[in-house]
C-alpha cells in the first residue's frame, strides 16, 4: 500500500473548535492552513478564567492544544489573516487570503 499525498485543508478560525479541527485533519495526514483574524489563536476561551461546569482553569485546558498546534509539522498558522475570496469546485478550491502586517512602534 503506497502513501499518496492527501492534499491540503483550510480551517478558518483559531478558537478551540478550529484548533481541534486542524489537529484532527493534520493527524490524518492533511496539510492544514489555520487562518485566524486576530494576533493569536485560542479564541474567547483563552480570555476566560474558569470553565463551566467544573470551574477548571481555561488556560490549563487550552495550553496543551496551543503548543500542539504550534509545533505540528502539518499545520501552517496564519494569524492576522482574513479570507477574501473562494473560487473553484469540490476538491479543487482556490482561496485568496490577506495577511496583515505586525507593527512595532519605535
pLDDT digits (tens, 9 = 90+) for 36-72: 999 999 999 888 888 888 888 988 889 999 999 999 9
Say whether pLDDT at 2 is over 60: no
Query: Length of the chain in residues, anyone?
Result: 106
Beta strand 75-78 with 31-35 is parallel
Contact status, residue 17 vs residue 44, Cβ threshold 8 Å: no
Domain 8-99 - what CATH class? alpha beta
**Residue 4 predicted with pLDDT over 80:** no
What does 43-58 look like in DSSP terms, one character per residue? GGGGG-SEETTTTEEH
**Based on the number of CB atoms within 10 Å of its own CB, is 41 exposed (0-12), middle (13-18) or buried (19 or more)?**
buried
* DSSP string of 84-104, one letter each residue: EEEEEETTEEEEEEEEPPP--
**What is the pLDDT of the chain when averaged over all its residues?**
91
The model's pTM is 0.86
For residues 100 and 81, what is the distance between their CA atoms, to the nearest angstrom? Answer: 6
Amino acid at each position: 500500500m503506497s502513501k499518496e499525498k492527501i492534499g491540503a485543508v483550510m480551517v478558518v478560525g483559531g478558537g478551540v473548535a478550529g484548533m481541534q479541527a486542524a489537529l484532527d485533519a493534520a493527524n490524518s495526514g492533511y496539510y492544514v492552513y489555520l487562518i485566524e483574524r486576530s494576533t493569536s489563536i485560542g479564541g474567547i476561551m483563552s480570555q476566560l478564567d474558569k470553565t463551566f461546569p467544573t470551574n477548571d482553569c481555561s488556560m490549563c485546558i487550552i495550553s496543551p492544544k496551543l503548543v500542539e498546534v504550534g509545533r505540528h509539522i502539518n499545520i501552517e498558522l496564519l494569524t492576522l489573516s482574513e479570507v477574501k475570496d473562494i473560487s473553484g469546485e469540490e476538491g479543487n478550491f482556490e482561496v485568496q487570503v490577506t495577511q496583515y502586517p505586525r507593527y512595532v512602534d519605535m
